[in-house]
Amino acid sequence: MAKTRKYLKRTVAVSAAALAAFALQPASAGAAEGPAGNGGVDTKIVGGTPAEEGEFPFMVRLSMGCGGSIYAPDLILTAAHCVDGSGPDDSITVTAGVNDLEDSNAVTAQSTEVTVAPGYNGQGKDWALIKIDKELDLPALNIAKDASFNEGDFEIAGWGADSEGGSQQQNLLKATVPFVDDATCGSAYGSSFIAEEEICAGLVGEGGVDACQGDSGGPMFRKDDNDAWVQVGIVSWGQGCARPDYPGVYTEVSTFAGDIEEAAAGLGS
């Protein structure tokens, strides 16, 4: 089964203003496909509602058409399929601190280096860290260190499309999606779903709520016992957007928590 990656391919880095203007345009026909190469890509939270200003201060928008979260003041956690591999990279513009991408209060930073999950080959292990050229004075999003948070309802947010084949968004949207067990997700996706590395969420049998094109790399998160947000997943792939029989597939963050921490240390944070 083809994996529909939930990002919009960008060939060059763009300014925050240019990205904001682009975000209002229909999804590109040249959007990236999954490894099997026959999926379309959509770009926003489907079935979502506008986020309140400052509700998710750890959210960032990346200039290639992906989302991300603030892992540390100078590090962004995103999906491996959003970037072009590990090494020096000054092509990615990070926009943070606002819900409206055209807001004059937006904070921007530039990438300096990228580290992609060791062994990433397009199947599973879909995470990456982006080092940026300055520290952001914004809250970071803690990551889950074990599987205890891999249940219940999760929040997702992004500037991606609000329908399959729809338009990018200028303003941040949010939605709630319930956990989908591995057996159900495996039934939908077969061997394409890697239960040891991925976690699924969505309204099975109903559809209508999902991440979509342009949301890739953004966090799936929930509250911990102290009422603080913790990241459980990274938007990765799915069959279309919000289809009844195909939940969204997310990188299972707790599986890679140790690797992410090691990579962050290697980048100097």
Beta bridge partners of 210: 46
Residues in the chain, how many? 269
Contact 235, 67 (CB under 8 A): yes
Catalytic residue status for 163: no
Residue 53's φ and ψ, nearest 5 degrees, are -60, 125
* Residue labelled with tokens 């509602």: 49
Which residue in the list 42, 74, 89, 126 is annotated as catalytic? 126
Q: Is 81 a catalytic residue?
A: yes
- Marked catalytic residue, from 111, 167, 192, 216: 216
115 near 93, Cβ under 8 Å?
no
Q: How far apart are CA 242 and CA 230, in angstroms?
A: 24
Distance CA 20, CA 14 (A): 10
Which phi and psi (to 5°) does residue 194 adopt?
-105, 95
Active-site residue, selected from the candidate residues 42, 74, 81, 162:
81
Q: Which residues are catalytic?
A: 81, 126, 216
